[in-house]
Amino acid sequence: MIQKVIDGIIAAIRAEYGSAHFKVYTELVEQGLKNPCFSVMCLNPSVEVTGKVRSRRYYPFVIDYFPKSDDEPVDECNTVYETLIECLGDITVEDKIISNNGVVDWVIDTASIRYNNNIVKDNQGILIYNNGKIEKNTGIITENNNYIGENTETVKFNAKGAEINVNKGIIRENKGVVYNYPGGIVKKNSGIVYNYGGMVSEDNTGSVIESYSVKAGKGIEKATLDNESFLDIDGAKWLEKTKGTATLTVVWAKGYNANGYHLEADGCKVTKNTNGTYTLSKITKNTTIFAAPTTFTITYKSENGSLQTTNPVTYTCETEDITLAAPSREGSTFLGWTGTDLAGTTKNVTIKKGSFGDRIYTAVWNNESQTVQQEIFILPKVLVKGKAIQKLSWNKIDEADGYFIYSSVSGKKMKKVFDTRKRASKKKAKKSSAKSTGAKTVTYTFKKRKSGTVYQYQIRAYKLVNGKKKVFCKSMVVYSVANNQSGKLTNVKNIKLKKKSYTLQVKQTAKIKQNIPLIKRIKSFILV
């Protein structure tokens, strides 16, 4: 090999100066040198062991130049030196570059470089030892001792202190630093691998720092992540496992919006913020964030009718058109639905694809054979008898098992003072027993009412349900002044309506006119 290298050096010199002008000596000549000439000799070759099966051989060569001029030999030697730097940058042996000390733009797949000490822009062949910089490798590199910009083929050995910035190929053994991209493989690692979707084999005694990708998927036109720790690699954002959370801002794709969709991701937690952004946290693997349709509820109020099983209880904005089936009720005719997005009672209700939001629909019926139950009212009145007596009376409710009487001085909180099924509280004024006066009226008399004081009353009807008293109807609150000595207030004797009945249609109103005869001719009165 030494002689082959010497031949390569001689060939480079003769290619530069021509074989007729300079003689090149390869052995020691003590006398008889013919100037100008060169001398090429190998001095003290050595071997450095770099691993169990690896070694590095050093072949130092000395090239001497003997000048022609005796007057200015230094100037002549300097000129030759500059020329040798250029012509000896690439030494070719058997059509192979032994050593590169300059810049090589392209190494074709049939060529090779044994030593690269400067820059190779694109290696597609074989490079044995890289001691400089390789911008791109699509060939084979036996040993990298410095820097490779991007590898998409094979690096057999990445030495300690060396770096491969982008690996998408194969690293058979790494002791330096490798940034491993999708498609990249590190088979044996005792150095540091920053892994961005590549693969590191189980033969790992070094450090592997994992990062996970976050991609925008279905329903997202554009996604912006504010975490500076994210790296852009192959159209995705990558975040180191230990770097925490990030804030995501999205531009929804056409047909998608935050009303009908929400963001989901397999591999991280997505939380919507009040300002419309999203927080990504707990990233545990490569993930794609996508728009998922939000599920909305459909609530039906059948009003004692039977719903059709074909009516769904949930839907999304991607659900095809839904037409509600009519419910049924014995003895009634279905008039339609009222509810969400309906102006009135509508029989044919369709929830269009693309709709969103929870919905409530109520069935409206027309009774054919059933008797409509009438509303229950309690109508109390108070009669003043004597100076300190107030007689409370109200209409009897057939459904009631008893009544609570609530009372207090006007303006104060009313309390329960009597239960028609038991005796009154001892703390209240003495009272008589409540009793029915005929079939339609219940009365109760209050005695020792304070003169000139306004009292308020309310009747509450109850039923006994499993031994408990359940109030089902309350009267209005009525007022009465006891023993009207002041002359400032008077009780109402009665109320006379000008019409005995009113018939109203839906959304129709009526004004009820009445006459109010008073006990005394005073403008201020207590309405009972």
262 in a structural domain: yes
Residue type, 159: A
CA-CA distances (angstroms) from residue 116 to 91, 96, 155, 310?
11, 12, 14, 76
373 in a structural domain: no
285 and 221 both lie in a single domain: yes
386 in a structural domain: yes
Whole-angstrom distance, CA of residue 514 vs CA of residue 44: 131
Interacting residues of 314 by C-beta distance below 8 A, sequence separation 6+: 295, 296, 297, 298
pLDDT in tens, 15-37: 888 766 678 888 887 777 788 88
Interacting residues of 305 by C-beta distance below 8 A, sequence separation 6+: 327, 328, 329, 332, 334, 363, 365
Whole-angstrom distance, CA of residue 61 vs CA of residue 84: 13
pLDDT of 377 reads 80
pLDDT band for 321, please (50, 70, 90 cuts). Answer: very high
Rounded to a whole number of angstroms, the distance between the first and last alpha carbons of the chain is 127
Whole-angstrom distance, CA of residue 176 vs CA of residue 145: 9
506 in a structural domain: no
394 and 481 both lie in a single domain: yes
Q: Which of 335, 367, 399 is the last residue of a domain?
A: 367
Whole-angstrom distance, CA of residue 110 vs CA of residue 99: 17
The boundaries of the domain holding residue 410 are 381-490
The full DSSP string for 258-293 is TTTEEEEETTSEEEE-TTS-EEEE---S-EEEEEEE
Q: Which of 174, 205, 236 is the last residue of a domain?
A: 205
512 in a structural domain: no
528 in a structural domain: no
Q: What angle do CA 365, 368, 369 make, to 5 degrees?
A: 125
Peptide bond into 293 cis (omega under 30): no
pLDDT band for 324, please (50, 70, 90 cuts). Answer: very high
Q: Are 433 and 380 in contact (CB under 8 A)?
A: no
Residue 20 CA from chain centroid, whole number: 79
pLDDT in tens, 205-241: 999 999 888 888 899 988 887 765 677 777 778 888 8
CA-based nearest residue to 158, from 172, 169, 137: 172
CA-CA distances (angstroms) from residue 461 to 18, 113, 138?
128, 106, 94
186 and 221 both lie in a single domain: no
518 in a structural domain: no
SS3 35: coil
Q: Is the dihedral of CA 481, 483, 489, 495 positive or negative?
A: positive
Tell me, what DSSP letter sits at residue 428?
A: S
Residue type, 382: V
Long-range contacts of 128-136 (CB under 8 A, 24+ apart): 129/56, 132/100
State both tokens at 69: 């001029």
80 and 49 both lie in a single domain: yes
Check whether 307 has a pLDDT greater than 60: yes
**Residues in the chain, overall count:** 528
Q: Is the dihedral of CA 283, 285, 286, 291 positive or negative?
A: negative
CATH number of the domain enclosing 478: 2.60.40.10
Q: Which of 293, 325, 351 is the last residue of a domain?
A: 293
pLDDT of 342 reads 93
Whole-angstrom distance, CA of residue 333 vs CA of residue 338: 15
The alpha helices in 302-368, defined as continuous H runs, are: none
Average pLDDT over residues 138-149: 92
Of 484 and 59, the structure prediction assigns the larger pLDDT to 59
21 and 76 both lie in a single domain: yes
CA-based nearest residue to 101, from 122, 131, 78, 123: 131
105 and 175 both lie in a single domain: yes
Total tally of structural domains belonging to the chain: 5
Residue with tokens 């820059």: 119
CB-CB neighbours of 98 under 10 Å = 20
69 and 148 both lie in a single domain: no
Whole-angstrom distance, CA of residue 493 vs CA of residue 484: 13
Q: Are 208 and 195 in contact (CB under 8 A)?
A: yes
233 and 289 both lie in a single domain: yes
Average pLDDT over residues 175-203: 94
Q: Are 172 and 188 in contact (CB under 8 A)?
A: yes
Helix (H) or strand (E) holding 16, with range, is helix 2-17
80 and 130 both lie in a single domain: no
458 and 392 both lie in a single domain: yes
253 and 316 both lie in a single domain: no
Residue 80 main-chain phi, psi, to 5 deg = -65, -35
SS3 87: helix
Check whether 343 has a pLDDT greater than 80: yes
pLDDT band for 423, please (50, 70, 90 cuts). Answer: low
pLDDT band for 352, please (50, 70, 90 cuts). Answer: very high
Q: Are 252 and 221 in contact (CB under 8 A)?
A: yes
Check whether 191 has a pLDDT greater than 70: yes
Residue 188 CA from chain centroid, whole number: 38
State both tokens at 410: 């006007």
514 in a structural domain: no
pLDDT band for 136, please (50, 70, 90 cuts). Answer: very high
453 and 470 both lie in a single domain: yes
**Would the pTM count as exceeding 0.85?**
no
Residue type, 499: K
Whole-angstrom distance, CA of residue 5 vs CA of residue 43: 13
Q: Are 458 and 475 in contact (CB under 8 A)?
A: yes
Sheet holding 23-25, edge to edge: 23-25, 37-42, 61-66
